[in-house]
Structure 1
């Protein structure tokens, strides 16, 4: 991104951003974190990665463990509330922080107000770039046909749909083929795939067929859990397709092996 574009993208001079890396990125795909860091810095942000961050608490929350979910929420808020913004390369985790923390801590004389203020500055990565920083293009070139899966949390809870497509359209050499039923769940659903494996497998089987039918070279999405689930099913069906987090492509960081290893 050239300086003129970067300045046009800036609505607040060099805001501080706390990058919420997410568990899956930290443990399975650190390259997504580095791609997010690059994109945020290119957008003029001062980025920090608090070492005290932990899980967002969604597995406990989805399992009905409200006590541990509240403890995790308070720890995350304390670690991140000093930043101007909190950004996560995951619609699922961002929605947990933004939508469900205030619900968990409602009625608490101290934490209700803190959780509300915290939630107001939480964003999914690509939504933050487009909606807050007003980024309209990225400096990347990828010679590939891609298709895009809209993850449930990002789409339904945060309204992330047009933003990634707008930035993907600015990449040299890239063409987007819309995925049939792009807004239908991939079957991962966090703990859902563990509790209901047969239903999860049926859902991801349909999704993998639609992905193959797209004829695209590469599958993209904004949530690593969805991507790992779809990649696993594609490989089990013998479908050779490159699978990546959208941040890696937007950052031009496609020199690393795709999710699941080399094709």
Structure 2
């Protein structure tokens, strides 16, 4: 029986980068995963939580638990997302939101089934290369704060990207340093945020890479804004966009 995954598409991916969501589906189906999408899904609650609106965030998170509850007639399914940031929210911040509540058992169930795309492919399915994936050029990888620090994701995306024909990895300096986005941080502390993006882009340019690749389009959106403003010769790609290339 094929593995079934419920996909969670974050609000900003749905609204700003729908092609990345479709590429994730393309990749999952390529490796034999049966994909299910619940159109009632909305947000994981992270924006409100990070802004300090805990009660409002809990209400959104409760809906997330309902949207991804195991179907009563089926075994519990994996929840897969193209955003390590949202996965980190579910795995970590939900602990505070639902500690000591009636929803805690349901929360733990969903937490144990929720994965970022690359760790799902590598750690759950044991896949380290997508058949037919091809992209000519050099890339440098940006470790998002959420992926690295909240989810412990480092090797999986690199393994998959290194399996893409024609693509060469060149690590940049300070790859684990924050890009400066941080959600509302970029709004509240614009000057600092832009300076951090500039530094990250300069490190990427120093490698001679054609692409900056990451697990999080939120980081890439921030970096791409700076790149476009300065008219620099770099392109930002989500890992799903790369893995879906060439076939």
Distance in 1, matches of 2:92 and 2:124, equals 18
Deviation string 1:56-76 (CA, Å, 9 cap, x unpaired) is: 111100011111111111101
Distance in 1, matches of 2:69 and 2:29, equals 20
CA shift, 1:244, in A, is 1.0
Which residue of the partner structure matches residue 131 of structure 1? 123
Distance in 2, matches of 1:69 and 1:230, equals 27
TM-score normalised to structure 1 length: 0.88
Which residue of the partner structure matches residue 53 of structure 1? 41
1:97 equivalent in alignment to 2:90:
yes
> Hey, which bits of structure 1, 4+ residues long, moved more than 4 A?
none
Q: Which runs of 5+ in 1 are unaligned?
A: 1-12, 255-263
Distance in 2, matches of 1:223 and 1:207, equals 15
1:160 equivalent in alignment to 2:153:
yes
Does the 8 Å CA contact 2:170/2:207 hold for their aligned counterparts?
yes
Which residue of the partner structure matches residue 177 of structure 2? 184
Distance in 2, matches of 1:153 and 1:124, equals 11
1:145 equivalent in alignment to 2:138:
yes
Distance in 1, matches of 2:28 and 2:19, equals 14
Aligned residues: 241
CA shift, 1:43, in A, is 2.6
Deviation string 1:88-145 (CA, Å, 9 cap, x unpaired) is: 101101111121112211111x201110111011111101100001102112111111
Cα RMSD after superposing both structures = 1.3
Which residue of the partner structure matches residue 261 of structure 1? none
Distance in 1, matches of 2:201 and 2:227, equals 6
CA shift, 1:253, in A, is 6.2
